[in-house]
Amino acid sequence: MKKYELAMFSAGALLLSSLPLIFLTQNFTLWGIAKGLYFLGLLFMTLEIASSRHK
Amino acid sequence: MIIEVQPVELWGIIKQVGLAVAGASSLWGLVFSVRKRHQPSPSKISLYTLLSLCAGGVAAVVGWFGMQLSLNVAWAHEGITVVPILEEIANALLLTRPGYVFWVSLLILGVFGWLRNRERFIQLLSPFYALHLGLITFLISLPAWNGFSETATQLFYMGHGFHSILTLGSVIVLDFLFLMSLAKPDLRAELYPIFPFISLGIWIGLGIDFLSVALIFQEGLALTSKFFFMQTVVGIIIINGVLLSGPITRKLLISLKNGRSLLGKRWVFIINVSGTISVSSWLTIAVVDFLEHIEVPYHYWLAGYVGFVLVAYCLHEIVVKIEPETALE
């Protein structure tokens, strides 16, 4: 798996894991981290596609 | 438990899916035609996107007329909800009316142009798609208008509407083109190098969605079963999407490079299941967005979703049986 795929996969898994926490405690910390990881993955993906075009 | 589906919600779904498909067809049709602009033969893929553009156009206009007739919309997203008031919907329909008339005229002119002088039409394909993309972006970004373009709620309406071109529309158009490429191998050389860009477009679309929801988070958050269900589907979309656009697509491309018979049965099954989950999950999100008057427990939502995925998979298998050319081997 590539770096951005790993980041996005973790974002999806974290998002799912955060739901029981939100249900029980209304705590959105994990959910927020998942969204952050998603954008990090998106950034990695953009950079990789941009660099592969210049090779 | 409340289960109530209003006609206007169904019209709204048809309009949104139609606009998303038409917008994505214009976007990717433009990309393919621009990439081929300096070559003697036109982009074949961009001719196929004309078909999906017309299909999306018909659906969007039918949905738009339906909404005009039954003007009472409730609307949500990801379980984080902002429901536009009736006046905002009416404002948007009024504002976009000239846009719809112009767009439909352009579409009809395009069909006549195609029938009368195909070669000339193909030369004008890029500006044709660019104009459509501009118009559809305007139409889909104005599902509601509160009169204040700078407010967070209005920006949410715009982002929420627009992202469907990149997400739902692109997934449907990509699936259509991919199935066509299985039946017509000459399309592959043009389509497959674009896969990473289409994936990036879909992920950017989901990012736009996340950002637009962040704008109304405090106001729109309601911890209902619908919220938890929508978040579950979003999580599944991300995980499945990563696998589908990453390892699965890489495996597929390697095997298709030299023919269609290198994939084993296990991989064909994995690809078909993953593709089905992708399309049906995006459709689920789009449809459930509009169903504001359904309040059922979480497991009811989940059972409906699983049932929908299973039905979609069975439909795919039936299509493969009828048209064996569209099957992976």
- Tell me the pLDDT tens digit for each residue of B208-267: 999 988 888 878 788 889 999 999 999 999 999 999 988 988 888 787 776 555 677 788
Q: Over the Cα atoms of chain B, what is R_g?
A: 20
pLDDT at B203: 93
What whole-number distance in Å separates Cα of residue B274 and Cα of residue B125?
33
pTM: 0.86
When pLDDT is averaged across residues B99-114 and rounded to a whole number, the result is 90
What whole-number distance in Å separates Cα of residue B197 and Cα of residue B190?
13
Per the prediction, chain B carries an average pLDDT of 83
Of A13-22, B140-149, B301-310, minimum mean pLDDT range: B140-149
What whole-number distance in Å separates Cα of residue B76 and Cα of residue B264?
42
CB contact under 8 A, A42 and B207: yes
Q: How confident is the model at residue A55 (pLDDT cuts 50, 70, 90)?
A: low
Provide CB contacts within 8 A for B174, sequence distance 6+. Answer: B28, B198
For A5, which of B232, B235, B242 is closest by C-beta distance? B242
Provide CB contacts within 8 A for A27, sequence distance 6+. Answer: A21
Q: Which residue of B has its CA nearest to A14?
A: B235
Q: Which of B298, B234, B217 is nearest to A23 (CA)?
A: B298
3-class secondary-structure state, position B77? strand
Q: In this structure, are residues B217 and B77 in contact, taking their beta carbons and an 8 Å threshold?
A: no
Distance (Å) from the alpha carbon of A38 to chain B's nearest alpha carbon: 8
Distance (Å) from the alpha carbon of B105 to chain A's nearest alpha carbon: 37
pLDDT at B149: 64
Structure tokens at B258: 């030299």
Structure tokens at B79: 């379980």
CB contact under 8 A, A9 and B239: yes
Q: In this structure, are residues B290 and B12 in contact, taking their beta carbons and an 8 Å threshold?
A: yes
CB contact under 8 A, B238 and A2: no
Q: Which residue of B has its CA nearest to A50?
A: B197
CB contact under 8 A, A9 and B238: yes
CB contact under 8 A, A23 and B204: no
B247 CB neighbours in chain A (<8 A) are 1, 5
Residue B112 has pLDDT above 80, yes or no: yes
3-class secondary-structure state, position B263? coil
Give the residue, B10 or B173, on which the prediction is more confident. B173
pLDDT at B258: 64
Residue type, B143: P
A15 CB neighbours in chain B (<8 A) are 231, 234-235, 238
Q: In this structure, what are the phi and psi dihedrals at residue B2, rounded to the nearest 5 degrees?
A: -120, 125
Q: In this structure, are residues B67 and B11 in contact, taking their beta carbons and an 8 Å threshold?
A: yes
Distance (Å) from the alpha carbon of A48 to chain B's nearest alpha carbon: 10
Of A33-37, B204-208, B246-250, minimum mean pLDDT range: B246-250
Question: What ipTM does the predicted assembly reach?
Answer: 0.95
How many other C-beta atoms are found inside a 10 Å radius of the C-beta of residue B319? 13
pLDDT at B196: 86
Give the residue, B155 or B132, on which the prediction is more confident. B132
Q: How confident is the model at residue B75 (pLDDT cuts 50, 70, 90)?
A: very low
